Amino acid sequence: METTENKLTDDVKDPKKNKGDYGADNIQALEGLEAVRKRPGMYIGSTDSKGLHHLVWEVVDNSIDEHLAGYCDKIDLTIEEGNSIRVVDNGRGIPTDMHAKLKKSALEVVMTVLHAGGKFDKDTYKVSGGLHGVGVSCVNALSTLLTAEVHRSGKVYTQSYRQGKPQGDVEVIGETDTTGTIITFQPDPEIFSSLEYKYEILATRCRELSYLNKGLTLTITDQRQKMEDGSFRTETFHSEGGLKEFVKQLDEARTPLIDTPIHVKGKEEDVEVEVAMQYNTSYTEHLFSYVNNINTSEGGTHVAGFRMAVNRVFKNYGEANGLFSKVKFEISGEDFREGLTAVVSVKVPEPQFKGQTKGELGNSEVRGIVSRAVGDVVNAWLEENPKEAKKIVDKVILAATARHAARKAREMVQRKNVLTGGGLPGKLADCSSKDPGASEIFLVEGDSAGGTAKQGRDRLFQAILPLRGKILNVEKALEHKIYENEEIKNIFTALGVSIQENEDGERVLNIEKLRYHKVVIMCDADVDGSHITTLILTFFFRYMKPLIENGHIYIAAPPLYQVRRGKKAEYAWNEEQRQQLAIELGGGKEDAVTIQRYKGLGEMNAEQLWETTMNPENRILRQVTIDDAFNADQTFTMLMGDEVPPRRAFIEANAKYAKVDV
């Protein structure tokens, strides 16, 4: 077992040594491409914005594979005008010589044949990412135009394709003294519901990849809109610290308990393990896991091995040193991980995933490998850092004590519900429908707006729960305090969900008795309303996350203005709409006696609230999703945590409320 930096093979030390070994014979073709356009969701997950962005990563993954093999240290990603994408790397370049079996250029085979590529040959890539090797050929099939340019063997080769079909043979168009591949593609509007790439999503993943692949430089440039100085928006990401820097960034808005992250790096049976972990003063675990650079949002055997090691080593250390002698109840595995931020990354030659989207690793052997690697390093760290180890164990004891109190608080809430025959909150105006799939509940800011909503709703399927003031900030509260908060108790009982402990002592949300499949947060469209919305979302993210993951949480969008001229009235949801309506209704010029600014939901009567915000035929509901768990976790911690400087910087950069209502 290696617990220090892994030794590179001679081939990686000298990339030029065996460059000639990567040729047409290394490319293995398995099947054709036709099914991709017929069922794109099977290959890229979906055809919405998420699937659109996934195309980029299938191309970038090929470049990352070259980096993992030791041949690429630079990747440039460009969003071009019209939302086409260009990816440039300085790897070896896709082979262009003739494929012996298929009698065509290896480049054309890679670009047009499903399951064709060097990653199916163990001598070419030891590990690789991408979706089961469909990669760039899948991108090709789903693009109106894709051009591949290869710099290799002193020449520049190119070939173009439309919807996966070659538009000619591979051509030599020049000479070069560099190596690498350039892929440019335009997503097909016949396939995708959205064609607009979001810079922030691409930049976040590039930053993530730089941490996961230290020494690799990734640059992203957006050519769709120039900055004030005439340049394009661009960022470069490069990390020499790797996962240690990653964990520090994750904990940027938290207060650390230890000076530097614990770092684990080892290799066993061709499985490479790298872990960075750090304890902080928060009350939740923040764990992100990867297999061959792919985020495994549902964990798997590598995460199980990590948790097994943390539980075992800290428990043994505490017991051996008599640190748990005064604790009168059992300490669970979850207590050892409260306030722990960790990144677990493994490189597995032949990963087995549960599900097409690679959400969970299934290789059973990885559990023991990760557990041993983490256990050896953490055990040594505890022996070498007794003062910091004592801080962590004290926090574990505090976590166990708080969990014990929280369990009693939960039992009190649930026992009260049973004794009172259901225990629905008195403030809840329930709907008559008993079908959760057809029912929705509005969490409304304040009793006044709640009263208006009760009058304006459709009683058949719409329930109203008024919330008094700002609910507890759960980011900075111990769990048992949460169950003592009246508004949060009302949310639990109204929704019909409960937090229970599973066999491993972990807290899980039971949503089997969820009473409404649409939970709508409806707050004022001002600064206070936004703050209350954020408090409620923080609560859902930390304690009812499955409701977000299953698509049950929504945010209502009440209008900001009513623009009236005579008997005709229209509503505006932003300043641009208000100006346009004022001109249209004012006969070509803006007439300000015609405009009403809604400072709160209570300023609308029941009919107006129904018409603009609650009527399914007219309303705007924004579904809350978690496309990026890493960013979501950071944002909630930054907005609602203890550290002020990151929050101030965020507000200054993103504030939308330029005017203060008086």
409, burial (CB in 10 Å: exposed 0-12, middle 13-18, buried 19+)? middle
Alpha-carbon gap, residue 169 to 277, rounded angstroms: 51
Alpha carbons 245 and 251: distance in angstroms, whole number: 10
**Residue 329: which of 409, 407, 389, 391 has the closest Cα?**
407
For tokens 């954020």, name the residue. 534
Helices (H), 469-610: 479-483, 486-495, 527-543, 545-549, 575-585, 606-609
Catalytic residue among 526, 549, 591, 603: 526
In the set 208, 524, 611, 633, the catalytic residue is 524
Q: How many whole angstroms separate alpha carbon 516 and alpha carbon 336?
A: 35
Active site residue 188: no
- Amino acid 521 reads I
Catalytic-labelled residue, pool 430, 445, 487, 570: 445
Please answer whether residues 553 and 521 qualify as being in contact, where contact means their C-beta atoms are separated by less than 8 angstroms. yes
C-alpha R_g of the chain: 28
Length of the chain: 662
Token pair 């769709």: residue: 224
Tokens of 211: 């941490």
Active site (annotated) includes residue 603 = no
The distance from CA 299 to its chain's CA centroid, rounded to whole angstroms, is 13
Active site residue 445: yes
- The dihedral built from the CA positions of residue 610, 616, 619 and 622, taken in this order, carries a sign that is positive
Catalytic-residue membership of 235: no
Euclidean distance between CA atoms 650 and 339, whole angstroms? 23
Q: Can you tell me the distance from the alpha carbon of 342 to that of 392, in angstroms, rounded to the nearest whole number?
A: 15
The three-state DSSP-derived secondary structure of 584-603 is: HHCCCCCCHHHEEECCCHHH
189 in helix, strand or coil? coil
Q: Which two tokens stand for residue 606?
A: 């029941």
> Which of the residues 528, 591, 628, 643 is marked catalytic?
528
Residues 391, 257: contact at Cβ < 8 Å? yes
What's the rounded Cα separation, in Å, for the pair 53 and 187? 10
Residues annotated catalytic, as ranges: 445, 524, 526, 528
